[in-house]
Structure 1
Amino acid sequence: MPTPVVLVAGLHGSARTAAVDRLLADHPGSLAVHHDLREVVRGRVRRTVRDPTGVLDTADLRLAHGCVTCTVREDLIPQLVLLAPRAALLIVDLWDSVEPRSVAEAVDCDEARQTLRLTAVLTALDAEALPDDITRGERLIQVGKPAAGGDRRYLAEVLARQLEYATGLVLHGGDEDDRELSRSVLAHLAPVTPVHTAGSLPSCTGAALCAGELAERVDPATARLPCDAQTDEIVTAVWRSRRPLHPGRLFDAVDELVTESVRSRGRFWLAGRPSRLLAWDAVAGIVSVEDGGPWLAALPEAAWDLVAPARRLAAALDWEDGHGDRVQHLVFTGPGLDPVRFRALLDSCLLTEEEQDAGPPAWARYDDPFAPILDLKETA
């Protein structure tokens, strides 16, 4: 039977180490593999293998291209396959700024599936640091946590992806007030993900996970987005509409939308681009808008069989005559956020009834401030 593999991610090294130590103690015969990427920009990586008693092996690696992808491809997966026959559980202790999705997909690949089975993706979080870090707009390079040369990602962006992709979250450190506040934050950002403490972790030797299904939980077309909620001062507001958005009016509202919320994401459509599902992703004032592919309503019905079942299900739940699965579905979270004002601002960005009645030929003539971003990414 394939050896179970659990990934432990997280920007907070002390919390991650505490979670890995607990897993080693709870699972006799387990081994933990860690790649220290502090020198990755120079093509140097140190790999460590340890068990509950301490370090068993270290190796200094030189990589042709200093990045996480080549570290995983050239060393991590071969190392896991090599260790699998003598391990009851393999624990991948990911470097601070590594996002777990790419590693999960590498473990759950055809070549490794006979030897390895992915059973859990945990993200460990420092309860004292989490509420502040999710609001921080610094780049990883500014805080000394890049995962590759030229890494331009932001700290809060990585933290959001780590906690939203995980199958379980692990809180460590801080006092009772810190833990209560962190649980409130997580209840908004990842409301259906179990939250554990580093001293009480779930078993990680169960059934295999499917990396494709994990991806569907966060991909824009199929994401399980949070619902309306309020916990003390933290508010999550959901906005939905069928009417298309005016590109110019939405662009003018972007700064207000992202600076007055901490986290927002979802899918939307612009007049002038009726065939394209657009993805909205913003955290700590940094916003990304990307083309997420075609709406199903824009595809010939014969092509639907080529689309994943989860995508067809999401489209069916959103389907409405006249619009198909085209929908505005955005979710905003922040302290003291005013849902009424946010929804009014977004409603003001929609086409008026007169504009909507003019139809696609008129919409195509609108100036589109998003075009330099979306058209560049489409042709890249």
Structure 2
Amino acid sequence: MVTVVDCANLLKDYSSTDFLADRGETAGEGDSRTLVDLLVEQIEFADVVILNKISTATPEQRDAARKIITGLNPDAKLIEADFGQVELKEILGTGRFDFARAETHPLWYKELHGFKDHIPETEEYGIRSFVYRAKKPFDPMKFQAFIDRSWPGVVRAKGFFWLATRPHHVGEISQAGALVRTGKMGLWWTSVPREQWPQDPGFLNMMKPYLDPVWGDRRQEIVFIGADPMDEAKIRAELDACLIDSPVFVPDLWRNLPDPFASWDRKAA
């Protein structure tokens, strides 16, 4: 799959909060995606990215575009071009595309699933990444305040979290550019009756590392990808400050904490 990116405008578009409808570029009625959603989908899934209009971009624009693309998808072959002029052998009949492998292209996926090896391309463009992990729940007001702050240098963040007020549900967070989205992802396995768990040995072995005697599989696990001036130590400290300081699982004490997040069907929470 080949994606063509406008080098001169990528940084501006990646920082946009426009919906596709604002640009007249929806895929049809009901398409509520933003411009950033479309950019991220196309870049993360591609196996070849053509960085077009390279000569019309400033050095700063070229550097930012390379960092964004590499931060989203280090596996993609990056080709720089003008007027879309690329040798056909670079994009036709390459045999590069594989649907299953494409789902593992994003750097956040590699980090979150623990199989990111040494990737020279990310080092070449100054891209760094880390995973924030914690067992304790977030105080909703403090975590919302963290989300509302700017994260200088962060290109992409993706992962899941749990709020003290919602002990049964997995929260999902996704950031790209200027947009941060959160929502309900599903139930923690700890909140599902054991008799309803899959019983195959593979699943049970997979779950063992995540089953804490206090918290079950509830946890914070968020990938951050970026370049200077991304400050890993500061982000970790700010997230640590969002955690509820409790050594035990006592959801009844947390249920009435102020919670600014949109409803996740609170009756079930």
TM bucket by the smaller chain? 0.7 to 0.9
The answer (yes or no) to whether the contact 1:263–1:283 under 8 Å persists in 2 is yes
Residue 189 of structure 1 corresponds to 72
Shift, 1:343, TM fit: 1.0
| Higher-Rg member (1/2) | 1
Higher strand proportion (structure 1 or 2): 1
Residue 201 of structure 1 corresponds to 91
Inter-partner Cα distance in structure 2 for 1:321 and 1:273: 19
> Which of 176, 184, 192 is the aligned partner of 1:299?
192
Inter-partner Cα distance in structure 2 for 1:205 and 1:295: 39
Inter-partner Cα distance in structure 2 for 1:373 and 1:300: 24
Question: What amino acid is aligned across from residue 324 of structure 1 in structure 2?
Answer: G
Residue 73 of structure 1 corresponds to none
The answer (yes or no) to whether the contact 1:258–1:284 under 8 Å persists in 2 is no
1:183-227 Cα deviation digits (max 9, x unpaired): 332332223x232435313745589745xx866877x9xx44467
Map 1:141-152 to 2 at 5 A. Answer: 141-149=21-29, 151-152=31-32
* Larger mean Cα displacement after TM superposition, 268-277 or 144-153: 144-153
Inter-partner Cα distance in structure 1 for 2:256 and 2:218: 20
Greater RCO (CA < 8 Å, at least 6 residues apart)? 2
Map 1:109-128 to 2 at 5 A. Answer: 121-128=1-8
Inter-partner Cα distance in structure 2 for 1:279 and 1:333: 16
Residue 251 of structure 2 corresponds to 360
The answer (yes or no) to whether the contact 2:133–2:222 under 8 Å persists in 1 is yes
Inter-partner Cα distance in structure 2 for 1:186 and 1:216: 15
Residues 252 and 205 (structure 1), Cα distance of their counterparts in 2 relative to 1, 3 Å cut: closer
2:47 aligned with 1:168? yes
| 1:280 match: secondary structure | strand
Inter-partner Cα distance in structure 2 for 1:293 and 1:358: 20
Residues 208 and 179 (structure 1), Cα distance of their counterparts in 2 relative to 1, 3 Å cut: same
1:260-284 Cα deviation digits (max 9, x unpaired): 7443211111112222111101222
| 1:362 match: secondary structure | helix
Q: Structure 1 regions of 5+ residues with no counterpart?
A: 1-120
Residues 133 and 306 (structure 1), Cα distance of their counterparts in 2 relative to 1, 3 Å cut: farther
| 2:149 match: secondary structure | helix
2:144 aligned with 1:251? yes
Map 1:55-70 to 2 at 5 A. Answer: none
Shift, 1:248, TM fit: 1.7
Residue 288 of structure 1 corresponds to 181
Shift, 1:151, TM fit: 3.8
Q: How many matched pairs?
A: 246
The answer (yes or no) to whether the contact 1:140–1:155 under 8 Å persists in 2 is yes
2:230 aligned with 1:337? yes
Shift, 1:346, TM fit: 0.7
Inter-partner Cα distance in structure 1 for 2:137 and 2:206: 19
Residue 83 of structure 2 corresponds to none
Inter-partner Cα distance in structure 1 for 2:196 and 2:104: 19
TM-score by length of 2: 0.73
Shift, 1:362, TM fit: 0.6
2:158 aligned with 1:158? no
TM-score by length of 1: 0.54
> Which of 136, 142, 155 is the aligned partner of 2:16?
136
Shift, 1:320, TM fit: 3.7
Paired-residue identity, %: 24
Shift, 1:347, TM fit: 0.7
> Which of 269, 273, 278 is the aligned partner of 2:162?
269
